[in-house]
């Protein structure tokens, strides 16, 4: 136990316990152990009704109500789950020792925690296991310690992190933040910046209303207050959580406890070894039925238009839940709460539009630098006026600066003008115009549009782009228009002579973005590229049954244990003729320019239809990529077969035949990996193969590299730039045109 002694009294404070006396100095820490007299604190069986979910000779599974403490502890010695369990077993206070207890020391004496193998907070409801025999106690304690027990919690969180949405069952957004006790308030926990105990939770949203989200959390570790702290750290605190939550909303909602419910516990039976799953009731969530009742309506086939759920997301969830309910045999008028969760939990991969901000990857820009200011005219010069002449200030330059903070040219204006230098005044120099920095995303290519000397029949001038610079590093800068020089006053020259400020440069630019990535996913529309990316990384966007649900590139980063990162780029679907810009194919393929490897994604679940041959599809995709840019022929490549879970459509047969046919055709072993994004199958192998394509010489270490606790900077990412030949600029030529124009040697303007 630790408490703070007021600062002003620190020098005088004396700790006196049981005859021990010590003068305390500033920042001294005193460890105090209270000797609890167990005989005085004997455990008494109490007649408290329990909601028993399961019981046999080894195990008791209870649905704990809210407000019940699990075992006696300082501040709460009676009315606990332990007291109720003792009564349920028919023990008297003398029989208490017949229940197994832990041996090690803990915050409370082990004798007060008989049979308790894990804990729930006071306000948390749901499934809790109690061991009845010494053997089952040790087996269960070990299973909890070794994380073999699967725990599923349901929580009603505030705020709606969209990254929780759209994950398949078993998956979720991983919150991996170490937890430690707060230094200022020892009763609360917090995310530890350094040190702390590792904690990991997997969160996925089951439904979303305007300001609330119904989330499923699967904690892998079991730290104190883990779920509450993790959700709060992701700006989705649990509704009703007084410690970590948003008080103003809690007051409005009039909820007295954190809306956290231990819904499911899956463990191996301590004697038989059989895997058993226990589910608590959903009653705790009945009281604020907004989300649950929406799903309930949906499950019963009712329309939700009249209900409060104007949110497109909630509507779409309920609509799809309604479609799925009959398949699951749920068609009752009033489905039970468990059925509701079952329907929501079966949420398939379809997700909602997000990150569908308009994306601009090519734009024209007119940059005008500031003019130099003019010198002060007729400045009076006398020997007794020694100050310099009133020169004009310099004009500001227009400078492009690369940043990781923006991802497209959406906010780049069509025309930018840097401020002019001010005119000289009296004997002072005019003010120099500030440089204008325009931020561009990483991967931008800058070309200058130069007048060709020709005009079109309508009289419009024809400009030709010439390569100038490309941005590959964060905070890299490039001056595109240099500011004018300020005018020089009469003193520098002969009497009466003076030079005016020069005009700033004016440039017409073309900016093109080719996103930075290591591997590009290429495939037909609906091949499952986005689902695959969402399953492999945290990137998440629209996944849907329609074609072209993805309309722009998305990059997901896969981080390996040794901090190697592989950036995978999900592109919109390609079709035959893409290299001739059919269905915007060239605009899609341009993002393969920076990839170091290509992954062709094909849906291998296609039955016996020979007219849609898998090998032909792979070859078509590769040919399109090569015809667009011959450099793509030199990149290593692999094939990813998706939707392998649809067994009735022979995916494994197609995968197998694909591997041997590719080997026969290319006389080389092209990696072919089968995956199912829906069930998370084959992803590890897929990720490893991707890494091997990109970094063939860097084997993945078996163990995670320890994080350096004092590392303040972002670790140096081992992302090496592509060091191949310079861009082939042919894509602005007609694809049918002949030789490409010679590339003018890039020249960087000096500021």
Ligand X SMILES: Nc1nc2c(ncn2[C@@H]2O[C@H](COP(=O)(O)OP(=O)(O)OP(=O)(O)O)[C@@H](O)[C@H]2O)c(=O)[nH]1
For residue 529, the minimal CB distance to ligand X (Å) is: 4
Annotated catalytic residue, options 8, 95, 121, 570: 121
Give the whole-angstrom CA distance, residue 316 versus residue 7. 58
For residue 735, the minimal CB distance to ligand X (Å) is: 23
For residue 574, the minimal CB distance to ligand X (Å) is: 9
- Nearer Cβ to ligand X (470/677): 677
- Nearer Cβ to ligand X (449/567): 567
Among 451, 493, 548, 660, binds ligand X (CB under 6 A): 548
Give the whole-angstrom CA distance, residue 110 versus residue 116. 9
392 binds, among ligand X, Mg ion, none (CB under 5 to 8 A by kind): none
Note whether 550 binds Mg ion by CB under 5 A: yes
Using CB under 6 A, count the residues that bind ligand X. 27
Q: Is 217:229 a contact under the CB 8 Å cutoff?
A: no
Among 95-103, 512-520, 541-549, 713-721, the segment contacting ligand X (CB under 6 A): 541-549
544 binds, among Mg ion, ligand X, none (CB under 5 to 8 A by kind): ligand X
Instruction: Give Cα separations from 490 to 381, 394, 485, 498 (angstroms).
Output: 9, 17, 16, 5
Exposure b/e, 518-532, CB count within 10 A at least 16 = b: bbbbbbbebbbbbbb
Q: DSSP class of residue 392?
A: P
518 is a catalytic site residue: no
> Which of 214-217's residues contact partners 24+ apart within 8 Å by CB, and which partners?
214/154, 214/155, 214/156, 214/157, 214/285, 214/291, 214/292, 214/344, 215/154, 215/155, 215/156, 215/157, 215/164, 216/152, 216/153, 216/154, 216/172, 216/263, 216/345, 217/152, 217/153, 217/154, 217/155, 217/172
Among 99-107, 548-556, 577-585, 696-704, the segment contacting ligand X (CB under 6 A): 548-556
- Nearer Cβ to ligand X (222/544): 544
Among 221-229, 289-297, 490-498, 528-536, the segment contacting Mg ion (CB under 5 A): 528-536
318 binds, among ligand X, Mg ion, none (CB under 5 to 8 A by kind): none
Among 48-56, 93-101, 540-548, 650-658, the segment contacting ligand X (CB under 6 A): 540-548
Count CB-CB contacts under 10 A for residue 372: 30
Tokens of 425: 């005044």
Tokens of 316: 């779409």
- Nearer Cβ to ligand X (79/544): 544
- Nearer Cβ to ligand X (339/526): 526
Give the list of residues 6+ apart from residue 93 with CB closer than 8 angstroms, or none: 42, 43, 44, 45, 86
| Helix 651-666, helix 614-628: angle, nearest 10 | 50
Among 530, 537, 603, 632, binds Mg ion (CB under 5 A): 530
Give the whole-angstrom CA distance, residue 717 versus residue 200. 23
Q: Is 31:42 a contact under the CB 8 Å cutoff?
A: no
65 binds, among Mg ion, ligand X, none (CB under 5 to 8 A by kind): none
Near ligand X in 590-629, by CB under 6 A: none
Give the whole-angstrom CA distance, residue 374 versus residue 88. 96
526 binds, among ligand X, Mg ion, none (CB under 5 to 8 A by kind): ligand X
- Nearer Cβ to ligand X (547/700): 547
Near ligand X in 633-652, by CB under 6 A: 642-643, 645-646
348 binds, among ligand X, Mg ion, none (CB under 5 to 8 A by kind): ligand X
- Nearer Cβ to Mg ion (232/534): 534
Tokens of 396: 């500001």
250 binds, among ligand X, Mg ion, none (CB under 5 to 8 A by kind): none
- Nearer Cβ to ligand X (241/407): 407
Helix (H, G, I), strand (E, B) or coil at 485: coil
Q: Is 298:331 a contact under the CB 8 Å cutoff?
A: no
Closest CA to 361 of 315, 409, 395: 409
Site map for ligand X, 374-413, x if CB under 6 A? ----------------------------------------
Tokens of 75: 């501040």
Near Mg ion in 181-240, by CB under 5 A: none
Which H or E element spans position 567? strand 565-570
Among 113-121, 279-287, 342-350, 530-538, the segment contacting Mg ion (CB under 5 A): 530-538
- Nearer Cβ to Mg ion (243/550): 550
Site map for ligand X, 314-353, x if CB under 6 A? ----------------------------------xxx---
Give the whole-angstrom CA distance, residue 367 versus residue 20. 79
Near ligand X in 106-125, by CB under 6 A: none
Note whether 550 binds ligand X by CB under 6 A: yes
For residue 673, the minimal CB distance to ligand X (Å) is: 13
- Nearer Cβ to Mg ion (86/555): 555
Note whether 549 binds ligand X by CB under 6 A: yes
Note whether 531 binds Mg ion by CB under 5 A: no
Site map for Mg ion, 463-502, x if CB under 5 A? ----------------------------------------
Using CB under 5 A, count the residues that bind Mg ion. 2
| Helix 337-345, helix 290-299: angle, nearest 10 | 80
Give the whole-angstrom CA distance, residue 244 versus residue 236. 10
Give the whole-angstrom CA distance, residue 285 versus residue 341. 11
Near ligand X in 571-590, by CB under 6 A: 572-573
Q: Is 175:157 a contact under the CB 8 Å cutoff?
A: no
For residue 569, the minimal CB distance to ligand X (Å) is: 12
- Nearer Cβ to ligand X (347/505): 347
531 binds, among Mg ion, ligand X, none (CB under 5 to 8 A by kind): ligand X
Helix runs in 63-128, H state only: 81-88
For residue 220, the minimal CB distance to ligand X (Å) is: 24
Tokens of 109: 């004496």
Note whether 541 binds ligand X by CB under 6 A: no
- Nearer Cβ to ligand X (335/573): 573
Near ligand X in 657-696, by CB under 6 A: 676-678
Near ligand X in 512-531, by CB under 6 A: 523, 525-531
Among 243-251, 489-497, 547-555, 668-676, the segment contacting Mg ion (CB under 5 A): 547-555
Tokens of 473: 């590093």
For residue 315, the minimal CB distance to Mg ion (Å) is: 22
Instruction: Give Cα separations from 614 to 523, 649, 659, 661 (angstroms).
Output: 11, 13, 10, 10
The residue to which tokens 């602005």 are assigned: 732
Closest CA to 233 of 185, 187, 176: 176
Tokens of 70: 């699990």
Count CB-CB contacts under 10 A for residue 406: 14
Helix runs in 220-276, H state only: 226-233, 247-253
Helix runs in 76-209, H state only: 81-88, 134-145
Helix (H, G, I), strand (E, B) or coil at 284: helix
For residue 445, the minimal CB distance to ligand X (Å) is: 25
Helix (H, G, I), strand (E, B) or coil at 164: helix
Which residues belong to the active site?
121
Give the residues lining the site for ligand X (CB under 6 A). Answer: 348-350, 523, 525-531, 543-545, 547-550, 572-573, 642-643, 645-646, 676-678
Residues that bind Mg ion (CB under 5 A): 530, 550
């Amino acid at each position: 136990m630790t408490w703070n002694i007021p600062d002003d009294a620190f020098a005088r404070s004396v700790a006196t316990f049981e005859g021990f006396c010590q003068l305390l100095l500033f920042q001294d820490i005193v460890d105090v152990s209270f000797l609890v007299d167990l005989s005085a604190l004997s455990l008494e069986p109490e007649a408290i009704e329990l909601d028993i979910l399961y019981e046999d000779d080894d195990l008791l599974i209870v649905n704990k109500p809210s407000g019940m403490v699990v075992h006696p502890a300082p501040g709460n010695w009676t009315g606990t789950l332990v007291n109720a369990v003792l009564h349920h077993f028919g023990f008297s206070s003398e029989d208490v020792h017949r229940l197994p207890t832990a041996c090690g020391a803990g915050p409370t004496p082990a004798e007060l925690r008989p049979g308790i193998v894990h804990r729930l907070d006071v306000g948390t409801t749901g499934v809790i296991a109690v061991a009845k025999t010494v053997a089952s106690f040790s087996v269960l304690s070990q299973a909890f310690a070794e994380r073999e027990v699967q725990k599923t919690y349901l929580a009603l969180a505030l705020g709606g992190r969209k990254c929780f949405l759209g994950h398949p069952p078993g998956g979720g957004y991983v919150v991996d933040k170490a937890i430690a006790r707060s230094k200022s308030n020892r009763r609360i926990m917090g995310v530890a910046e350094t040190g702390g105990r590792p904690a990991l939770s997997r969160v996925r949203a089951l439904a979303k209303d305007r300001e609330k989200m119904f989330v499923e959390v699967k904690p892998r570790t079991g730290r104190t207050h883990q779920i509450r702290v993790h959700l709060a750290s992701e700006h989705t605190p649990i509704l009703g959580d007084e410690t970590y939550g948003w008080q103003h909303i809690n007051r409005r909602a009039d909820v007295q406890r954190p809306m956290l419910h231990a819904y499911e516990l899956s463990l191996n039976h301590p004697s038989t070894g059989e895997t058993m799953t226990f589910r608590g009731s959903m009653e705790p969530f009945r009281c604020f039925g907004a989300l649950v009742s929406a799903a309930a309506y949906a499950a019963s086939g009712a329309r939700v238009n009249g209900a409060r759920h104007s949110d497109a997301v909630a509507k779409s969830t309920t609509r799809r839940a309604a479609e799925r309910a009959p398949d699951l045999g749920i068609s009752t008028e009033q489905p039970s709460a468990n059925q509701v969760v079952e329907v929501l939990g079966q949420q398939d991969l379809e997700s909602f539009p997000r990150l569908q901000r308009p994306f601009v990857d090519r734009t024209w820009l007119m940059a005008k630098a500031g003019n130099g200011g003019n010198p002060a005219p007729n400045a009076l010069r006398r020997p007794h006026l020694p100050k310099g002449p009133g020169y004009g200030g310099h004009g500001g330059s227009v400078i492009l600066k690369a940043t990781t903070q923006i991802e497209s040219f959406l906010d780049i204006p069509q025309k930018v003008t840097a401020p002019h230098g001010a005119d000289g005044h009296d004997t002072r120099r005019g003010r120099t115009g500030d440089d204008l920095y325009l931020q561009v995303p990483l991967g931008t290519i800058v070309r200058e549009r130069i007048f060709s000397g020709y005009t079109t029949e309508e009289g419009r001038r024809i400009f030709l782009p010439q390569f100038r610079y490309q941005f590959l590093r964060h905070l890299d800068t490039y001056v595109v228009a240099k500011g004018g020089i300020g005018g020089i006053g009469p003193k520098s020259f002969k009497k009466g002579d003076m030079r005016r400020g020069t005009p700033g440069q004016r440039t017409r630019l073309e900016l093109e973005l080719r996103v930075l990535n290591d591997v590009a996913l290429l495939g037909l529309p609906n091949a499952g590229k986005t689902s695959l990316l969402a399953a492999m990384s945290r990137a998440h966007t629209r996944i849907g049954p329609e074609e072209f649900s993805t309309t722009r590139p998305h990059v997901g980063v896969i981080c390996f244990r040794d901090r190697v990162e592989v950036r995978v780029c999900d592109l919109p679907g390609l079709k035959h003729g893409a290299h001739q810009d059919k269905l915007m194919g060239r605009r899609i393929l341009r993002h393969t320019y920076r990839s170091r490897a290509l992954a062709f994604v094909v849906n291998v679940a296609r039955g016996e239809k020979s007219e849609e041959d898998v090998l032909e599809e792979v070859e078509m995709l590769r040919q399109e990529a090569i015809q667009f840019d011959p450099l793509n022929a030199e990149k290593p490549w692999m094939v990813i077969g998706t939707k392998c879970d649809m067994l009735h459509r022979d995916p494994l047969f197609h995968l197998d035949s694909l591997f041997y046919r590719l080997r026969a055709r290319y006389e080389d072993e092209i990696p072919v990996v089968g995956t199912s994004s829906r069930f998370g199958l084959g992803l590890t192998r897929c990720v490893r193969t991707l890494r091997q394509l990109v970094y063939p010489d860097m084997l993945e270490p078996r163990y995670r590299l320890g994080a350096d606790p004092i590392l303040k900077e972002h670790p140096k990412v081992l992302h090496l730039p592509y060091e191949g030949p310079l861009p082939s600029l042919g894509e602005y030529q007609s694809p049918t045109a002949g030789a490409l124009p010679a590339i003018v040697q890039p020249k960087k303007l000096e500021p």
